[in-house]
Each structure stands twice: as structure tokens, then as C-alpha cells.
Chain A
Amino acid sequence: MSLEARVGVRLGALALDVALDAEAAQTVVLLGPNGAGKTTVLRVIAGLLALDAGRVVVDGQVLDDPVSGAWIPTERRPIGYVFQNDALFPHLSALENVAFGLRARGARRREANQQAQVWLERVGVAEYADARPGALSGGQAQRVALARALVLEPRVLLLDEPLSALDATARVDTRRQLRRHLDDHPGVRIVVTHDPVDAMTLGDRVIVLEAGRVVQAGPLAELRERPRSRYVADLVGVNLYRGSADGGRIRLREGGELVAAGHGGGDVFAVVHPRAVALHRLEPEGTPRNVLAGTVDHLDVEGDRVRVIVAGAVPVTAEVTPAAVTELELTAGAAVWASIKATEISVYPA
């Protein structure tokens, strides 16, 4: 089972052009800010929206190709779709919702209900079989929606923000279970999300979309180590700079300079993990090659660590302990020095 798609769609101000290939037993996450076109890609694969340019092919079967005129309508595509906010039929019970697809494909009521019951058990909501969606919690409804899509054993499973409607507690739980169900599903899995935690938990491979374009694609580890856009860097929480390298010196686009361990020349990205940034109240002396003057813009407390956002000629985010914040009297507006060892800066071609 495989999916090959090149999605070219014009929707108002959004010009979407995305290439997406996926193999069986692999979860691809489409990650991006709101309005990047993630859902549109899913709708195109499902046939809820027609392509302007490109192609959608599943297992060699062309589902949509505006050039040749090939078009398979949604109801005949081998897909399963889990909608944002579940879209369960409000007038049918959970069981009837799950049995709906089987019935629509010609199964008898008894068989359809039996199979639906099995899937409700599998996703852990068997005791709510007779409940209407209105009586279910967000997490339960999401599981019913997942069962409704999985019961048809689709070759391509599409999930649109499957966790966004859930509160924090239900989210953690549902996310873990969702990962398990995705792993059990033998077909292609595509998940749309704007949440990096979802992406990391659910995805084997991540495609980052911004304004209708792929800005980066690859395994998660690569995104973390070598982000290629501000959005990705913010997602994984690192400092990202771009500039032109000349030996070890990198002249930054936004002004300023960084010194990294020896490196070639040309247009490069430089990444500094906030943990590798040290803060000082007085100008430090010593080995660090990069000493940046600035003022504390604000502090973000994240569990047992504090991220200090420093504004200056070269803006930088440092990650320190709460104790250090107290000791250095770091408050918004305080003048600080940030130091980074040259060896802590990883540089790669842009």
C-alpha cells in the first residue's frame, strides 16, 4: 500500500503545492500553523476537494488527475477520514455510527452491528454503544470516530487534528492510545496537527507546511537537529540563525556575528540549543567565543526550567534553572550577557 500525491490547489489567498508520498505502516504527520493548508491536503486525498494541478495515486490507482480527467468520487476511494471535532452523526448511536460505513457498503445490519461492536471494544468504548454522540465526552467521541473510520480497513487513513478538541487530561490518554491504534493499522496513516507534541508522539515522519509549501520534511530527529525555518525552530525550541559563513565566522542576516567551530563558507543555518547558552550579569571573560549583550525580554517557566528570552543585536533564548533566575535577579528589562561556546553551535548549509 502506498500513496503518492502532488497537491496543487488554489483556495482564495492560499496557493497550495505539496508533494506527499507515504508507505504502508507508516505515519506521516503534516505539521504547520493554522492556514498552512494541512486540512486541504487531506480533503484532496479524500476527494472532498478536486485538484487544480497534480495527482493523487493510491496503490497505482489514479484517484484524481486534472490532466487526464481521472476522478474517483469520495465514496469509492479506499480512505478513512477522522474529522476534526469527530463529525459523528448526531441522530445515530455510537454503534450505528460505526456500523454506518459497513451498511453503506452493503453489509447486513446484524453483521455490521457485530463488527461495529468489536471495534468499539477495541477502542475501549464498548459500554457506550447505545449512547448518542451528544452524550459522549470529547475523548469517547473521538474514539468512536476512529472506530468508524478503522472498521472499513481503509488503505489510507486520514486524521484531521484528532486531538485538538480534547482537554489536557483526555489528550495525553487519547494520544497514547491513538498511537497504538495507528501502529496496528496496516495502511498508510496521515495525521494533520499543529501541535509538535502530537507530531512527535504519533509521527514516524514529519512534513512541515507553511503557507501552502513544504518547508521541511524528514524524521523528527532531523527536524530537531537541523530546523530549516523559524517555525520549526520555535516548535522544537531552539535558537536558529541564518547567515553567510566564512571559515568559523558567520555574519548573520539580521546583523551581528557568531563564531562557530571551523566550517566552510556560504549560506548557512546555525542552531544553538538554549541549554548551551549561559547568562551573566557582568561581561564574562574566558573561553566562550560568543558573548552577546542584551536585555531580558521575558521569561517562560516550563516545569523545572526557565526559558529566558534575551533581546539584543543577536536575540537569543537561554534555558536556565529557577535558582539561577533568582541568583542573577533576571527580570524583564535586566541587562545581561549571554555566552555561547563555539563548539555548541551547529552549522549546516541552508
Chain B
Amino acid sequence: MRDALWLSLVCSVGATALAFVLGLPLAWVLARTDLPGRHVVRALVLLPMVLPPVVGGVALLLAFGRRGLVGQYLDDWFGIRLPFTTWGAIVAEAFVAMPFFVIVVEAGLRSLDQRYEEAAATLGARRFTTFRRVVLPLIAPSVIAGAALTWARALGEFGATILFAGNLQGKTQTMPLAIFIELQTNLGGAIALSLVLLALSVVVLVSLRDRWFPA
């Protein structure tokens, strides 16, 4: 049980970090450029939100599996194997949860007055400097809210994880998977684990209440 809880925390935080690293530039591109095809990119990014997670897991296997489109090269060239590893669980959770991050951060960027970025440019700041010193601090509330949503979604991820990463105790068996297994033999244990997840979710909700439910 301790294994599952610890693994859940590691994977959900890892997935949130991955969503941050990939999602932040993506949100910027979607909100601030008129790159051709960005509507297609947005659709692809948001797809996991509406896709059944199990289907997402199948897609991940086809893409990153040992013989997958990308996976075979990862294995051949770098010796990286994602399926049925902790990294696989992180990728699966990030895949499902990242849209929440992108959507919230993109909205934050869109509501940010572009004059601040223009002012920074007239002061000689390159785009990256502007992003780091002006944009990021100003959209910090959106980034935090997006990260919290992403983390919560990743914590509860079941379908894509079990398909892509399997259910290996201590390696890929996160809390939701452990609850599923426990439920078949030990109802009390399943309830106990569920309560732990419930408590975590409530804590997140309460800590963000001012942002989402202002008094």
C-alpha cells in the first residue's frame, strides 16, 4: 500500500512536471503565434480530454510500444523502453492530464495584456527573457491552477496507465490500480485507499478555492 501511494505521488508529480515542460511552450504557441496548423495542434492537444483513457493507452502502445512507431527507435537508438516501466506510467498520466494544463495556461496567456510583452521588447528583451521575466510571473496564477488540475487528474489516472504501463506492484501500480485490485479481495482496504485519494483531492480543492470559487 505504501508502495502504491508513493508511486502515485511520484508519477503524478512527474506527469505534472512533464506537462509543465511540454505544455508551457505549447500554450504560448497556441496563444501568441499565428502558426499555420495551430488549430490542428490544439485539437490534438485537447483530444485526450475527450478520448476514453483506455483508447489513449492503446494509442500510446502503438506509438511508444517496443515495436511502436516511435518506440522502436527509442529502444534501438537510446535503449529507452517506456511500456511497463515507471516512466511509462508517468507518460501515460501526462498524456491524459496535460490538456488541463494547456487549456488553463493558454486562457491565462490570452487574458494577459500584450502591451507588457511589447513593452519588454521595446526595452530590448528577447522573447525568452520576456517570457521568463514578464509573462511567467504575470500568468503564475494560471500556471499554478493548471498544474493543480493536471496533478489531480494524473493522480486518478487508471485506463491509460494500466494499458500502457501495466499493473506491476512497486513499479507501475499506482493508487487507482491498487484500489481496483484490492476491491476484488478486500473491500475494506479498497475503501481505505479511496479515502486517502478523496482526502488528497479535497485538500487540492480547498487550497484553490479562492481562485475558483471566490466568496
Contacts and interface: CB of A to CB of B under 8 A. Distances in A.
Interface of A: 46-48, 73-77, 79-81, 83, 87-91, 100-101, 104-105, 148-149, 152
B124 A104 contact: yes
B123 interface: yes
A100 B133 contact: yes
B140 to A, nearest CB: 8
Interface string B121-143: 11111100100011001100000
B85 to A, nearest CB: 40
Interface stretch (B60-68, B71-79, B111-119, B199-207): B111-119
B119 A152 contact: no
B119 A89 contact: yes
B120 A104 contact: yes
Interface of A is mostly: mixed
A91 B125 contact: no
Contact of A75 (B125, B133, B137): B125
Given A48-B118, A83-B115, A101 B137 contact: no
Given A90-B138, A91-B137, A100-B133, A75 B126 contact: yes
A47 B118 CA distance: 10
Contacts, number: 60
Range class of the B interface residue count: 10 to 19
Contacts of A48: 118, 121-122
Contacts of A80: 122
Contacts of B121: 47-48, 73-75
A108 B123 CA distance: 16
B116 A87 contact: yes
A75 B129 CA distance: 11
Nearest to B136: A91
Contacts of B133: 100, 104
Contact of A100 (B113, B115, B125): B125
Contacts of A83: 115, 118-119
A105 B119 contact: no
A77 B138 CA distance: 25
Contacts of A89: 116, 119-120, 134, 138
